Amino acid sequence: MKKLFLIAALLLSAASMAARQPQRGYRGFVEWSSSLRSENFGYWTLDNTLASYRENTFYTGISTSHGYQINPMFFVGMGLGMERCGKLDNWIAPVFVQGRADFLFGRFTPFGDLRLGYNIAEGGGLYISPTVGYRFNWGRKTGVNLGVGMSVAGYTAEHYEGSMTGPDSYEIQYVGKEHHTRVYFTFRLGIDF
Tell me: the pLDDT tens digits for 81-90? 999 998 888 8
Q: What is the mean pLDDT of residues 76-105?
A: 94
Which residues, other chains included, contact 189 with Cβ-Cβ below 8 Å and sequence gap of 6+? 31, 32, 33, 144, 145, 146, 147
Is residue 48 classed exposed, middle or buried when 0-12, 13-18 and 19+ CB atoms within 10 A define those classes?
A: exposed
For the segment 5-42, what is each residue's pLDDT rounded down to a tens digit? 555 555 545 444 555 678 889 999 999 999 999 877 76
Cβ neighbours around 181 below 10 Å, total: 13
What was the pLDDT predicted at 12?
Answer: 47
What was the pLDDT predicted at 107?
Answer: 83
Q: What is the mean pLDDT of residues 150-168?
A: 85
For the segment 42-74, what is each residue's pLDDT rounded down to a tens digit? 666 667 677 777 888 999 999 999 999 999 999
More confident residue, 98 or 14: 98
**Least-confidence region, from 43-47, 89-93, 105-109, 121-125:** 43-47
Query: For all residues of the chain together, what is the average pLDDT?
Result: 86
